[in-house]
Structure formats: structure tokens, C-alpha cells
Structure 1
Amino acid sequence: MSIKVKCLSHTPLRGLNDPGVQVVAEVDAVLAQARADVEAFDPELIVIFAPDHYNGLFYDLMPPFVIATAADSVADYGTLPGPVAVDGDTALAMARFILDNDVDIALSHRLQVDHGCTQALEELTGSLTRYPTVPIVINSVAPPFAPYRRVRKLGDAVGRFLAGLDRRVLVLGTGGLSHEPPVPLLAGAPEEIADFLIAGRNPTPEARAARQARTVAAGLIYGTPECAQTPLNPEWDLGFIDLLLEGRLEEVDGFSIEEISRIAGRSTHEIRTWVAAFAALTAQGPYKARRDYYRPINEWIAGYGVVSAEAA
């Protein structure tokens, strides 16, 4: 068994809002290299830790962690439609192993996944079906959240399960870094918004288009005085990346959810997917990692980063 990790920000505004020719070229280049790395590794399995943005999971039943034996893309923001090539047998065996190792995880036999999962698969493999995949969704948007120490334990359990497979495994973490798009909170929400957050599955095309338009508009003013959202925080982002590169993963156990929300933005908690991915790698032993790219990109509402790692 060999394991490699790629963690990368996602942004639904890539291709919709223009941050400038140079930035687009930089991101295109780093993603092309990441895809070449994946091609060269030729994984026999992809495990992807991803968030959801009120597209597949809602407050009528909001698990902190859920693993899918089957998944379909909601195709938001122009991402690919259709089923993900989920390795259902491996997903089910992984779920049993995680539960046997004292981490509670929900199971879905028909999960809807959004750009938080599918964008990375599309960018790194060109498809949702090229490689057998196990999607694990970590609640990163809908408070209250599980503490970061539980996320690390989840990743550790996944890593120990993978150690028993005789397969080349690519582990992806997708989301973050600092950012705060206009995602509503349930607390204090008007009835119409609350109803959506509780049970808003399968919206009409018109409702989805209106939601997309609000995010696009937010990106056009993000980081300016007109924007009410928490600005990007490059210092925090780079400090978090350094923590991963230097193998200081246990420090995330002390992360304050409230403090991160305040200084880096409420959706920064998508870094939980990075924590889980690196915890899975740490379960194999020492690792070596590198920062492939980082830039704060207001137009995409993203502290945009790419990090790679493998066992040392």
C-alpha cells in the first residue's frame, strides 16, 4: 500500500468571477501539475474528505461525519453532473472499521454531493468516474461542529484502515482556507431561510440560479469596505499550512471553533478536510510535504492553496 495526499481549496467562482489573467494562469498551472502528479501516481482508490454546502445535508439530519456507498453530483456552479464512481464495498468496510475504532460516522447509500466534493475530482482527474472513490463528508458549514480533535481521530481511523489495503491510495482534502461566503446561519434566520436550511434538498433551477447569483455578487465586492463578510486572512492560512508541513498536526486539537470563525471566516472550517487527510497520512508514519501554491483571491472568496504530501 502506498498513499499520497493532495489538499486544495475549492471555489465555485472559478470561471465565473475574474481575478485577472495572471492569477488564472497561476492557478491553471498549479492544477495542471497536480493533475499530472495524480496521473503519474495512477491511484487505485481515491478517498476524498469534502464539505457540503446545504446541498446534500441539512438540519433535518446533520451528521458531523458521513461516508457514502453511492453518491450523485448536484452539478452546482457548472460542475459535472451524474454519479461518482463510489467503491461501495470498500466504503462499507471502511465505515465498519471506523465505528469499531470508536469514531461515530453516519452512512449514506444515496448521498448528494456538491462542488465541495466534485470540483476537486474534476480538476484532478477530469471526471467523476475515472477512479474508484470513497467520499467522506465532514460538516464544516452548519454549526455546531465536532471539535477538531474528533476530525483528527476520524482521519487516523481512515489511515489505519487504508494501511490494510494493498492499493495505491490518493487521499484528498478539499476546502478552505480562510473565507466567508454569504452562507446563512440557522440561528435567527427568517422562516423561509430556516426552512431551506432544515430541508432544502432538490431546489428548483430558479432557486439554485438565485443562490449562485448571490455568491457571484458577493465575490465582486469581497474584501472591500462594502462587504460585511470576514476578509481573507493570509497570515492565518500560511500558519495553518506550516503546521501541516512541519508535522505539528496534534496542535489542531486545541483549535477554537469560535476564534477561527472570528479571525478567518466561518467557512474556514472546511480545513477540517485537510486535517483529516493529513491525519490519515500520519497514521502511516512520518511524512514529507510541500506547499505547491498559495494566494488570497478575493474574487473567488478564497484563500487559495494547494499542498502535497506522501509518506517519508
Structure 2
Amino acid sequence: MPVKLICASHTPMMDYIHPPAAVEAEARGTFATLAEEVRAYDPELVVVFAPDHFNGFFYDLMPPFCVGLRAACAGDWSIGEGPLTVPEATALALVKAVQAQDIDIAYSYRMQADHGFTQPLEFLCGDVARYPVIPIFVNGAAKPLPPCRRAVALGTAVGRFLGGLGERVLILGSGGLSHDPPTPQMGSVPPEVEEFLIAGRNPTPEARQRRQENVLRTGRLLAEGKGQSLPLNADWDRGLLARFAAADMEALAALTDEDILAQGGRGGQEIRAWIAAFAAMNAIGPYRATTRYYHPIDEWIAGMAMVSADPVGTSATLAA
């Protein structure tokens, strides 16, 4: 079956804080090149693995993984608006197929997809509703987190389902790489913050603005070599990119929360979405991955990377 993959870092700060002009131009230019390749490929289905940042998923009911049978943009950072074009029957068939492979996965008829989903859809697909899309949430923020081996198992099960569709499929993975934003955690914050983490959906514009200003302040401080965020870790990022390129699922499955936190920061846990995406691609068949862009960008609090992959024997880019 025709299948392509793109995994990309996301950062909602791109329109608020600017790194050196040449760095930003190359990052945006690579997104634009990949978007042209997606347009040429014209996928019949997009499957996007992405985390959430306490915008759509909260501790009142926190699944390790969740498939959106119906979904709409959460509206955070003003990225994306309205519903996603979810093919409900296909999404439900995916849930059943994954469950049949002994992966207990949640599903939602009212998923709120935050910028982890909507930014790559806007950048790579032109619009959140441009193509039929199945959003798959992978918890990378709310402890306890699913083990990385379960992200491999999830992706493998999804890939087996996609391999039988016979459609042009684009697999997206969103998140990371090294990335240490000010994400609050249960047990270490005041009661009012805990209440937000439990049930903070649909905040007021003022509350959302306060959250966003806190993140922007963190990016400015990191760019100045100040603040409490863990510095970006280019060596760790490049090591991960090498493992993805080698399809080393065993090594990726063995990553621990503690190692990821120490090397990649709190947001580094989002690499579970990349792991699931590459595991899906690997389940369909051998692939060749190409790193299209990498640069640690302090202002965006992200080891920014973009990687594409194609089945062995096809073009190294996404062009049809």
C-alpha cells in the first residue's frame, strides 16, 4: 500500500518569539517543502499521533492512548478552528482492530485536539480539515505515563490495520524532541492548579492567556541562558533521530521516563508520539528515513526536527 511518514516537532511559540532570522527561515522553509510534498502525494487518509498539553485531556479521566472518532480543535494558541474531518467508520474500525491485537485503547466522540495535533495539520496539510484524519492521542504529559514499549505496541497495531486499507496513507508524529516547558504536575502544585489539571477544559480567554504568557516567558529566559528549564540537548536529539532512522524499535521501547526526563526534559516525554508513528510505519514494512531539518531553538523551547520516511524502494522524499 502507498504510505508516507512525517514526524515533526511542534511549538506554539513560532508566531510569538523569533530566533535568528536564518534559523527561522530554514525551519519554516522545510515545513513549506514538506507541505508541497504532501500536496503532491494527496493522501486519502492522515493518521496523526500527538500528545496533549492539558488542553483537551485532563486527570478527571486520563487514558494512555485515545482515538478520536469525532474531534474538533481545542483552540489553544489560536491554532486551528472547527472540526477535524474524521472518517468515523474507519476510525471505529481502527479501534476494533487495535483492540483485537490486545491493545486496550480509549476512544472519544468529542475529542478536543490541541496544538500538538493542529499545528502539524496546518503546517503540513494546509488546514486541519483539508484531508480525512484520524487523531490518536498519546499521553506525554500526565504522570503516570504509558511505557515506551506500549507506544511501540500501539503503533504496531495501528500500522497493521493501515496496511490492509489499500489507501494512500500519511502517518504524522508530533512532539519533542528535547523540550522542557513549564508543565505542572499533580502532587507538586497548589490545590487550585491541581483542580485545573483535573478539569480545566474550556478555560476563559484570560486564563488561557496567562498560561501562554508563562510559556513565552520561559522561552525568552531559555534564549538568554536563564530560567529553570533544562537546556535543549542536541546530542540526545541526534541519538533519537539515529534510532528512528535505523528502525531500532527495541532501543526505543527500552527508554524510561527517568532517562527521557533527565536528557530531554519534561516535554521530551512527547517522543512517545514519534515512537508510535515510526512503529506504525515499521509494521507496514521496511522504510528509509531522512532527517529534513534539525536545530535546537531555545526561543521555541524545542529541539526542532522534521523527518520523512518512505517504504524501501521508493523516493527518499514525499513527492508522488
Unaligned regions of 5+ residues in structure 2, if any?
313-320
User: 1:119-149 deviations in whole A, cap 9, x for unaligned?
Assistant: 0000011111110000000000111111111
> Which runs of at least 4 in structure 1 moved beyond 4 Å after TM superposition?
none
Measure the CA separation in 1 of the matches of 2:189 and 2:209: 21
Aligned residue for 1:119? 119
Secondary structure in 2 matching 1:178: coil
Measure the CA separation in 1 of the matches of 2:188 and 2:272: 26
Measure the CA separation in 2 of the matches of 1:225 and 1:213: 18
Confirm or deny: 8 A CA contact 1:87 1:133 kept in the other structure: yes
Confirm or deny: 8 A CA contact 1:223 1:231 kept in the other structure: no
Aligned residue for 1:42? 42
- Give the alignment of 1:10-159 within 5 angstroms: 10-159=10-159
Measure the CA separation in 2 of the matches of 1:247 and 1:108: 30
Measure the CA separation in 2 of the matches of 1:230 and 1:267: 10
Question: What is the CA distance between 1:88 and its match in structure 2?
Answer: 0.9
User: 1:252-308 deviations in whole A, cap 9, x for unaligned?
Assistant: 121111111012101101111111111011111211111001000000000000000
Measure the CA separation in 1 of the matches of 2:55 and 2:172: 20
Aligned residue for 2:195? 195
- Give the alignment of 1:161-200 within 5 angstroms: 161-200=161-200
Measure the CA separation in 1 of the matches of 2:140 and 2:21: 31
Question: What is the CA distance between 1:225 and its match in structure 2?
Answer: 4.6
User: 1:3-52 deviations in whole A, cap 9, x for unaligned?
Assistant: 11000000010010011211111011100111011011110000000100
Aligned letter for 1:310?
D
Confirm or deny: 8 A CA contact 1:79 1:119 kept in the other structure: yes
Aligned letter for 2:58?
F
Question: What is the CA distance between 1:189 and its match in structure 2?
Answer: 1.3
| Residues matched between the structures, number | 312
- 1:169–1:52 Cα change, 3 Å: same
Measure the CA separation in 2 of the matches of 1:170 and 1:205: 34
Of stretches 19-28 and 7-16 in structure 1, the one that deviates more from structure 2 is 19-28
Aligned residue for 1:275? 275
Secondary structure in 1 matching 2:12: coil
Measure the CA separation in 1 of the matches of 2:132 and 2:188: 41
Question: What is the CA distance between 1:224 and its match in structure 2?
Answer: 4.4
Aligned letter for 1:2?
P
Measure the CA separation in 2 of the matches of 1:223 and 1:25: 18
State the TM-score, normalizing by the size of structure 2.
0.96
Aligned residue for 1:230? 230
Measure the CA separation in 2 of the matches of 1:247 and 1:276: 12
User: 1:179-235 deviations in whole A, cap 9, x for unaligned?
Assistant: 110111112210010000011111001000111111111110115453111111000
Aligned letter for 1:123?
F
Measure the CA separation in 2 of the matches of 1:259 and 1:70: 35
Aligned letter for 1:13?
M
Measure the CA separation in 2 of the matches of 1:85 and 1:241: 31
Aligned letter for 2:73?
S
